[in-house]
Amino acid sequence: MKDRTTTTTQPGDLELSIAIMPAPAVGERITNHSRDDGGGGDDDGGRKRDPNPKVLGAFAELAHTKRGLRQRHIQMIALAGTIGTGLFLATGRALASGGPLGVLLGYAVVGALVCAVVFSVAEMSALVPLSGGVVRHAEHFLDPALAFAQGWNSVYANAVLLPAEMAACAVIVDYWSHAVSHAVWIALLGGLLVLSNFLLVGVYGELEFVFALLKIALILGVNIMSICITAGAGPQGEVIGFKYWSDPGPFVQYLQIPGAWGRFVGFWRVLVSAAYAFSNVENLSVAGAETQNPRHNIPKAARRVFWRIMILYMATIFCIGLVVRSDDKALTARSGDAGASPFAIAAINAGIKAAPSIINAVVVTSAWSAGNSAMLVGTRTLYGLALEGHAPKFFVKTNRFGVPWISVSAVGSFMLLGFMTLSSGAAVVFGWFQDLVSAASLVHWINIELVYLRFYYGCQKQGISRDELPWKGPLQPYGAWLALVFFIVLLLTGGFYVFIDGQWSPQGFVSAYFNIPLIFILYFGYKLWRGTKLVPLEEMPIRDFLEMARREPEDLPPRPRGWRRLNVLWG
């Protein structure tokens, strides 16, 4: 297969390819034939052996999936594809909970550990670039039961994120007019989202490319505006400096709890908001089978995601703490509304009349874009589940554009949950969805690190140097272990606020902890039903995947020259 980028797909081709190369039954032990020759790649006669049928079956999809995501698409999706209401709106509540220093530290801690997650999944995806990401990796490196559990958990998490973003869009539109019902905006924006995902994946890539540029322009614009306001260049001419860091202070006494404990629990509450803001940033590899040169572009995006995301997020969070008081009542008065955007509040307080409308207009596109990314992740994960036999086979059916249209329809149906805002306050519903997504993201990150650590120690057991891999992430396995332990603790304690006197809320408790029993029910239920076992370290098909990588080298793009070398966004 010399040129996979020109492959076309016809309905039924994918199912045929899987039928030609059947995989072992789910739950059947995966055998790595390299054990017989000490882990090498040859058989007893010295001839190069073929990878086992399960690996061949998995890689068959690479020949029948449209590779419409180019380098600039995957780079910009990694940079800003998931930036939405988590950064532009939810940071208002985070600032009110933790104060300017608390929110800065909280986002820095979670952001750094999420980068460890990104490095882990990118290392595996460079070797195994299949649709579904870690769901497919868990099948080969840990336990088919975890592939089933995490796959459905990921579908659920992204399906829940869709109505959250659409509800946020509808509420933001209220900034200009209350004459049109939320139902109209949710139906219109949700319909456009589903339609875009029925088209070529290249259409999705182009949309996300444009929206990512708008997000970056907004981030740069609001940060420049914040610096100007801080320096006294606003209409009122007041020099703010670090005034709000001393009054009301760098931290907040959360729920009026006195002393250092009150400041610490405020900081801890920020971590949950940060988990929502960083949700899905690790999913740059979910559409691996639809990415051109995935072994080159996925690691490239992962290497850059640390600097890009940390700089964009940290600069923005720092500026928020400069221009808005943490005790400004507007931060919590309309959580999820346009007024809760700290930059809109700063512009209003500074007397800049046009800025709130501009900010909100771009935030609407950002929320829609984040929903679009969630739709891609959810549908491709469901598609990957079906390929592995963990979902009905009809989910692998593709349309003439090579898009799994039944998977798109199934995930898109969750958009109907957005109409809950018609009976309950939109801000309240948005808060429920935010906590649900945060918990699901923590579970996802935990599972990624579990799978990666099994993969890491599988390489050691089989005597495979990580230098043989297409790409190896930095600071491993220490970053993976640190992220794993931290996110487990945060998952168990993230809903602590509901146990404080007077703060009990059934909805808050369910939103914070629903995902814990869900993932255990999915995992142990499937494990008991199908009798699956952990894949032994020595039987992981790592050698087979290495052989597939050697057989199908990628045509790397030429090095940029001239002015193109200055393109730090997607070059």
Q: How far apart are CA 488 and CA 92, in angstroms?
A: 26
pTM, full prediction: 0.81
Query: Which one, of 94, 444, 431, lies nearest residue 269 by Cα?
Result: 94
The more confident residue out of 44 and 275 is: 275
- 42 CB contacts (<8 Å, ≥6 apart)? 48, 49
Tell me the residue type at 62. Answer: L
Fold of 73-555: Amino acid/polyamine transporter I (1.20.1740)
Query: Which one, of 262, 268, 235, 434, lies nearest residue 340 by Cα?
Result: 434
The more confident residue out of 104 and 167 is: 104
Cα of 318 vs its chain's centroid, Å: 23
Do 377 and 283 contact (CB within 8 A), yes or no? Answer: yes
Residue 176: the pLDDT is 75
Distance set, CA 132 to CA 89, 150, 280, 290, 387 (Å): 29, 10, 13, 11, 10
pLDDT tens figures, 269-323: 999 889 988 887 777 665 444 455 677 777 877 877 777 777 788 889 999 999 9
Q: How far apart are CA 475 and CA 156, in angstroms?
A: 31
Return the domain boundaries, the chain: 73-555
Q: For a pLDDT cut of 90, what percent of the chain falls above it?
A: 27
Residue 414: the pLDDT is 87
Is residue 482 scored above 60 in pLDDT?
yes
Residue 564: the pLDDT is 61
Neighbours of 484 (CB within 10 A): 23
What string of DSSP letters covers 111-145? HHHHHHHHHHHHHHHHHS--BTTHHHHHHHHT-HH
Is residue 82 scored above 90 in pLDDT?
no
End-to-end CA distance of the chain, in Å?
27
Question: Look-up: residue for tokens 């985070």?
Answer: 94
Phi then psi for 163, rounded to 5 degrees?
-65, -30
Do 246 and 363 contact (CB within 8 A), yes or no? Answer: no
Tokens at residue 16, please? 């045929």
